[in-house]
A and B are shown apart, each in its own frame.
Chain A
Amino acid sequence: MRLFRPLAIAIALLGLALVPAWAQSRGPLKIEINQGVIEPIPFALPAFVAEDASAQQYVQRIDQVISADLTGTGLFREIPQSAYISRITSFDAPVQYGDWKAINAQALITGAVSIQGNQIVVKFRLFDVFSGQPLGQGLQFAGSVDTWRRMAHKVADAVYSRITGEGGYFDSRVVFVSETGPKNARKKRLAIMDYDGANVQYLTSGGTLVLAPRFSPDGKRILYTSYKSGEPRIYVMDLATRQTRILDDQQGTMTFAPRFSPDGNTVVFSLERGGNTDLYSLDLATGQRTQLTNTPSIDTGPSYSPDGKRIVFESDRSGTQQIYIMPATGGPVTRISFGAGRYSTPVWSPRGDLIAFTKQYEGRFHIGVMRTDGSDERLLTASFLDEGPTWAPNGRVLMFTRETSGVNGAPSLYTVDVSGRNLRKVPTPNDASDPSWGPLLP
């Protein structure tokens, strides 16, 4: 193995970073995601130590969630426990690095779980096996027992973050539309779940058609469109109390496509009157409404830049749907999409660097990203119908709706890495559409 390493490095250099950064240097454990990792980092995750009898039942479940989070990124690979030479029987015992090197583990994650009453405490440490030292401090998370999955996500977020240098995204939630029934009479309910499809809860009964929920930046409220009053209207729901209120109620208009500003104080949305759709903003505290566009075209799909100063949106003012940017208060509009096809549902990345969108081209639908000046367009997916991307809190992963064709066609949620790799279906109990990814939980 050692004999071949120089050769591997030479190939890597020629192959322009098609192998992970760690393989080239054997330096500190670190992935540069931008280098296009295709060989996942092998990690060992020996069973967390149960520090009391009642913790035993959570150990395996917590390990499974941590492992699923990390391997689900496509950046990590778990070495099966059957290969381990060392056993971890005490959280604070010294680590036998040689035993983990021998099985080629790059990262070692150890942990312990204890339960006192209704409290669960999860501790973990991360080790860089090849440099033979801990990567960051050991940490512990504590909370009520029913939040055990969140504890596991927090461990995985810390591991991911320390190795990649990026923010985590596992301890986050997604609001979406849960769908049942035939294609011509779909029953749609608002629902919320963990990012990985666990803990689904329904927010509406399904009695009225609901569309496209959108998280507030603090994760405490959602905006959505409902036919509750008979006509499509934007509502805001407080997730803790489930109380809803209508946002803007004028006879003879339809309101839809809402999104919060980054400070959560303003909502930008589409308002249709007499067949024409323009963009408006509404100050949630004062109720003051401002018209942002005034054209005979369909202006919709608005999304704020992370600094709140600009809005990206779609408009068919040129004849087909294209993507435009304007100041958040309205004003001069700049077109940024110029490729062939129709561009829609632009969403500004939380990092500010990219805009994700839906593209229709030659009968196929794609999720893509481009820079905010429209350059470097990259299509990440292709199918009969992909639409409506939403960013993970760290701006590295997109979730979107993929719908299959035909009489029994139905939608599901998928995720894809911003590099276009690692396309995965998100498990949901029913058909699902219109995801909105919330913030990383505190």
Chain B
Amino acid sequence: MTRHLTKALMLIAVLGVAACNNPDRYANGAGGTGANAANGISSSPLGDPNDPKSIAYFNQTVGDTVHFAEDQSTLDPQAQQILAAQATWLARNSDYGVIVEGHADERGTREYNLALGARRASAVKEFLAAHGIPATRMRTISYGKERPIALCSAPQCYAANRRAVTVLTQPGNS
């Protein structure tokens, strides 16, 4: 139940895909409304979730998010399984660029959490690179504890927030 709710929240949060050179899809203070927000409104095609080549399919079916233990950046077997599937999908859909976002829960100081988020994003990038995705297709960005998706102050929310999200960038726009 929590898992499904989390998934739904995540989907809302990642509806936007980075479509320009600015990897900060939260720009203009808006959580998860795309990156072309210079004019206040952005639009990005997500595609048909039944189309295995669509971003929606990647986000939901392959899974764009992996989670981490407290103060850790190691990839557990479940995370490795998701990332292996991401690597397979990315190899087949080689037009997309990748921005890996690293996040931390609120139980840490701001600057350490920025560094921790960077470690997590980097762990994902290295895993994907080791599975054949060219490093030149990938960038990383850390948000530290600045962009939680689960808002409660309880272990299940902290766990949901300790994450790395693989965000696709549009073909020709990366």
Taking CB atoms, residues of chain A closer than 8 Å to B27 are 207-209, 227, 230
Min CB gap B32→A, angstroms: 8
B111 touches A212 (CB 8 A): yes
Closest to A401 in B: B110
B121 touches A275 (CB 8 A): yes
Taking CB atoms, residues of chain A closer than 8 Å to B126 are 275
Q: Contacts A252-B139, A275-B122, A344-B109 given: A230-B115 contact, CB under 8 Å? A: no
Min CB gap B173→A, angstroms: 13
Residue from A232, A314, A407 within 8 A of B142 (CB atoms): A232
A184 touches B139 (CB 8 A): no
Taking CB atoms, residues of chain B closer than 8 Å to A388 are 109-110
Taking CB atoms, residues of chain A closer than 8 Å to B114 are 211, 225, 232, 254, 256-257, 272, 300
Q: Mark each residue of chain B from 21 to 48: 1 if its CB lies under 8 Å from any CB of chain A, else 0.
A: 1111011111110000000000000000
Residue from A185, A256, A387, A406 within 8 A of B153 (CB atoms): A406
Q: Is B168 an interface residue (CB 8 A)?
A: no
Min CB gap B29→A, angstroms: 4
Min CB gap B98→A, angstroms: 14
Question: Number of contacts between A and B (CB, 8 Å)?
Answer: 133
Residue from A270, A274, A405 within 8 A of B111 (CB atoms): A270
Taking CB atoms, residues of chain B closer than 8 Å to A331 are none
Min CB gap A234→B, angstroms: 12
Min CB gap A311→B, angstroms: 15
Q: Mark each residue of chain A from 275 to 287: 1 if its CB lies under 8 Å from any CB of chain B, else 0.
A: 1110000000000
A212 touches B110 (CB 8 A): yes
Closest to B102 in A: A275
Taking CB atoms, residues of chain A closer than 8 Å to B122 are 274-276
Residue from B107, B140, B146, B149 within 8 A of A209 (CB atoms): B146
A230 touches B146 (CB 8 A): no
A277 touches B115 (CB 8 A): yes
Q: Is A434 an interface residue (CB 8 A)?
A: yes
Min CB gap B142→A, angstroms: 6
Given contacts A403-B106, A407-B151, 17 further A-B contacts (CB under 8 A): A181-B29, A184-B147, A207-B27, A208-B28, A209-B143, A230-B21, A257-B114, A270-B111, A275-B125, A276-B119, A298-B119, A300-B115, A301-B112, A344-B111, A345-B111, A405-B153, A409-B151
| B interface residues (Cβ-Cβ under 8 A, vs A) | 13, 21-24, 26-32, 71, 73, 106-112, 114-116, 118-119, 121-123, 125-126, 139-144, 146-149, 151-153
| A interface residues (Cβ-Cβ under 8 A, vs B) | 181-188, 206-209, 211-212, 225, 227, 229-232, 252, 254, 256-257, 270, 272, 274-277, 298, 300-301, 314, 316, 320-321, 344-345, 358, 360, 384-385, 387-388, 403, 405-407, 409, 434
